[in-house]
Structure 1
Amino acid sequence: MPEAKRASLLLIGVDRYVLSACHRLGVDAVTVYGPYARDNGLQEIPDGGTAVFCDDHRNPEAVLTALHRAGLAGHRFDAVQTTDERALVTTALLGTALGCRTVDPGTAVLFRDKFLQKQRVRAAGVRTARTWLVEDIHLLDGDAPPLPFTPAVLKPVAGAGTELTSRVRDDAELVASARAYRRRRTPNRTFVAEEFMAGEEWTADGVVSDGEVVFYGLGEYGASCLSVIESGAPLRMRKFDPHAERWTYDLAGPVVHAALAALGARDGVFHMELFHDRGTGRIAFSECALRRGGALTQEEIHCKFNVDLGEAAVLCALGESPAPAVKVRPGTVGSSYLPSRAGVMLSCPTPEHLRQLPDVEFARIDVPPGTVLPDAFGATSQRIGQVMFTTASAGLLDQRVEQTRSWFLDRLRVMPHEVFTRQLRDWNRDAGETDYADVLYDPDGR
């Protein structure tokens, strides 16, 4: 009997968990990647896989021409998949051009454009923020019409990771932000102002297959993503237990299902953000992406629920129905970004060192020594490293997070920048390195 043909999957961008799932499932993966992945080197394409480099993996022209140069012009792919938020529409267009399975382009647009997304969800009767479109932020100036609501959250209409996101309290702050973006010549020009919604920021991460939600897990941020960017504090997350905290699922479940249905989600992994008003007990939709959540979402969901979102993404892309064998781990699963200091990083504790600390389940350092660390990270996708914990309670998780952050910061060695040469000499001397003081030649003492 001839061997069954292996499924062939075109991956846009590098996702080590998706690649690992392809290897386990016997799927032939071709990964198209761009300069950032090549230069960063954090996520490597394993040996045995096919890797195709292009100038911009988010550009359909760059991807198609690269496939032709690689001799894959006539290759028959079964599906196209991405975990890259900004490559979702590109993936939809490529699948259409190549005649294989992918997300519908119109659906992809709804999952990328925050203005259109909220319009669609609001029309379906789901509570969400009012929105106001700014077609070109660079042209917004003193003669701009007044905001229809204040305060508001200003963000790129198709952004990600809270990048270029700010809170504006009145028309003057809106114009000031617009002028700042114009001075910076930001590539993002179309923005949306959203009605500011107070409350706790929750997350829902799950899998939808053939239009049905087959799994989702709820969680919360320690503080909203916007407040993290404003304060510079490290991001924190934890997952809600569906048994001990069943009330969260009862409250948020209807919103999760209704929003996904309104947006036309058919097959794939999703990451949704919600607002919980503790005073009223109401849930409001914030936004949703048709890809896995960032930070340690993959690891947290796998640890807490025994669900591999990377594998689910591969199966959904190929049109196969995932059947997650959900097994809820008792206790609390959560994670935190590690703290940073501005300057050039000389060294820091390794993941192995971090994993030896109490209740640390997993750790990753995202930047190597020699990296120039900024005064503050400008997006939730930027960090020095991350740690995941498993504890007996949410209170103990809080303790472990603070202890680990303090321990890490004490051992983080950063050479400050913008200092005098004398300060650098003193710093090296105090750090126990060679003393670079001036010396005199002594023929006798040599």
Structure 2
Amino acid sequence: MKRVLLINTSGEVAARRLQEREDIRLSVITSPNYRSFYREGTDVTFVDNVEDLTQVRLAALEVRRRNAFEHVVSPSEYSLQAAGYVRSYFGVPGVGYETANAFSNKYVMKQRLRDAGLPVARFRPLAQLGDVAGAARELGWPVVVKPAIGGGSEDIFAVRSEEELAELLVSERTASLRNSPYPMLAEEFVDIETEFHCDGAVVGGEVRFASVSKYFTPLLQAVGKLVGSYTVPLDDPSAKEIHDLHAQVVAALGLRDGVTHLEVFKVAGGLLVGEISCRPGGGGIADLVAAHHGVDPWHVLIETSLGESPDITARTVDGCSAVYFLPRPQGTIVELSSREELLALPGVVHVELRARAGETETGAMHSATQAGFVLLRADTEAQVAEHVAELTRRYRIRTV
């Protein structure tokens, strides 16, 4: 019987699969808003905020009195820091705090990548939002401002001038960023021609598998619009270049075992590393990789976290596969396409609806805001575009 601690927020797939395994004695640390992920009788400890390392450490001390965990699993972006800290603190094998910090703290990440000679946009640390003007004098206007830790394109702003900065310093739109418990950074604004993601599996410090996909539109341009991606053919010149870059990034940040989700920008001068995380891609990206290549990032994450040897044999299907994030506007849903309607559309092979009529969304829009996702199959990249256009035309969601 393996003794396992799951530190989690939104990683529902990992929560479900770990609860299904009869060879595991599972304990969980999470926050109350994810209570529904866990069966009655599961050993769950709630903390106000999984990102608060002190709260999680004290909760882990309490958990160890009843379950002396030997492994820690962290499937969500916001649990990476805490899980790395707990592993290092208790001497548990796996991704320790230094590596977890490099994969989740964007400032540290970019320092390490820059020092390794890898291509990243120029950046500067910020103690507060008001420091943007000084950074922009070095980097040039406009600049992109973001918290050092976070996901889903939340609290990321392109600031074009000192006048716009003055407005943002008092705007309600930036209240969350100004009150963030994390440091911030400013990056030079780059004109992105294409954005890719590369999803990999690492064992013993070696990249054993990597899949390259191309976003329909760069993510920061697509918020509230068309979000999704499709697999790049193996013979595409970009694929090999991104494969090689991914391996260099993994080596620079020191991951020994686990999964990766890397964002790469194609700009006029070549490729730039955006960000990388050591958890599966969100919003259906892990499902895309599993469907197209037969390598399931969630399976690899769990097995490497438990010291097991996952099957990473790729069984890639012909053509292209795509994931389409179903748009979810703000407001209360009064009309929504059904799963059956979407499955009847050309190329659609899987539909996961996460929203339903009557639900209300009032939060800020970001790249992870969606009503669910659809997986599509196509013979060519051109056919991907045709299927996506038809899906966009036929998908119905109405809010008030």
When normalised by structure 1's length, the TM-score is 0.81
Cα RMSD between the aligned structures? 2.6
2:278 to 290, 298, 322: 290
- Give the whole-Å Cα distance in 2 for the aligned partners of 1:350 and 1:182: 33
Q: Deviations over 1:65-97 (max 9, x none)?
A: 54566x652422121111211221111111233
Aligned in 2, Cα 1:25/1:216: closer, same or farther, shift over 3 Å? farther
Q: What's the CA shift string for 1:362-410, capped at 9, x where partnerless? A: 2122223222245x9521121122211112222222222222222222x
Please point out which of 373, 386, 390 is paired with 1:403.
390
Kept in 2: contact 1:19–1:29 (CA 8 A): no
Correspondence for 1:266 = 256
Matching residue's letter, 1:15: G
Hey, what's the Cα distance between the residues in 2 that align with 1:66 and 1:27? 20
Alpha carbons 2:168, 2:174 under 8 Å: kept: no
The residue identity in structure 1 corresponding to 2:214 is: E
| Identical residues among aligned pairs (%) | 24
Match of 2:265 in 1: 275
Q: 1:57 to 1:355 in 2, by over 3 A?
A: same
Query: Letter of the aligned partner of 2:319 in structure 1?
Result: G
Secondary structure of 2:170's counterpart equals helix
Work out the number of aligned pairs and report it: 395
Q: Counterpart in 2 of 1:335?
A: 323
Q: In structure 2, what is the Cα distance between the partners aligned to 1:167 and 1:386? A: 27
The residue matched to 2:171 in structure 1 has which SS? helix
Aligned to 2:202: 208
Displacement, 1:348?
1.6
From 246, 249, 253, the counterpart of 1:256: 246
Q: Equivalent of 2:380, from 388, 393, 401? A: 393
2:30 matched residue in structure 1: 33
Change (3 A) 1:100 1:68: closer
Cα deviation for residue 64 of structure 1 reads 4.8
Match of 1:15 among 8, 11, 18: 11
Q: How far apart, CA to CA, are the structure 1 residues paired with 2:98 and 2:132?
A: 33
TM-score where L is the length of structure 2: 0.89
CA spacing shift, 1:403–1:9, aligned 2, 3 Å: same
CA contact (8 A) 2:114 2:120 kept: yes
Aligned to 2:306: 318
**Letter of the structure 2 residue corresponding to residue 17 of structure 1:** V
Establish whether residue 79 from structure 1 lines up as the match of residue 74 from structure 2.
no
Flag the 1:311–1:148 CA change in 2: closer, same or farther, 3 A.
same
Write the letter of the residue equivalent to 1:269.
V
Structure 2 SS opposite 1:86: helix
Is the deviation greater in 346-355 or in 109-118? 346-355
Q: Within 1, Cα distance between the matches of 2:58 and 2:78?
A: 19
Match of 1:161 in 2: 152
1:223 paired to 2:223: no
- Distance across 2 between alignment mates of 1:212 and 1:31: 30
Give 1:249 deviation, angstroms. 2.4
**Measured at CA, do residues 143 and 96 of structure 1 come closer, stay the same or move farther in structure 2, by a change above 3 Å?**
closer
Alignment of 1:363 onto 2:351:
yes
Displacement of 1:341 in angstroms is 4.4
Residue of structure 2 in register with 1:379 after alignment: 366
Secondary structure of 2:65's match? coil
1:55 to 25, 48, 60: 48
Alpha-carbon offset, residue 147 of structure 1: 4.3
Rate the CA distance shift 1:304–1:45 in 2: closer, same or farther, 3 A: same
Equivalent position of 1:434 in the other structure: none
Aligned counterpart, 2:168: 177
Please give the alpha-carbon distance, in whole angstroms, between the structure 1 residues aligned to 2:341 and 2:147.
39
Distance 1:395 1:159 in 2: 34
Distance 2:200 2:22 in 1: 20
Cα drift, residue 28 of structure 1: 3.4
* Deviation larger for 340-349 or 200-209: 340-349
Deviation at 1:269, TM superposition (A): 1.0
Aligned counterparts, 1:143-158, within 5 A = 146-158=137-149
Shift of 1:333: 0.6
Q: Match for 1:272: what amino acid?
A: L
Q: Does 1:234 align with 2:220?
A: no
Change (3 A) 1:141 1:355: closer
Structure 1 contact 207–312 (Cα < 8 Å) conserved: yes
Is residue 198–residue 243 contact of structure 2 (8 Å, CA) maintained in 1?
A: no
Distance 1:91 1:8 in 2: 15
Residue 136 of structure 1 aligns to which amino acid in structure 2? Q
Name the amino acid aligned to 1:257.
A
Deviations along 1:4-52, one digit per CA (max 9) or x if unpaired, are xx222211115343245443583333232212213xx4xx335775433
Q: Distance in 2 between matches of 1:365 and 1:208?
A: 31
Q: 1:68 to 1:217 in 2, by over 3 A?
A: same
2:6/2:28 contact within 8 Å kept: yes
* SS at 1:167 equivalent: strand
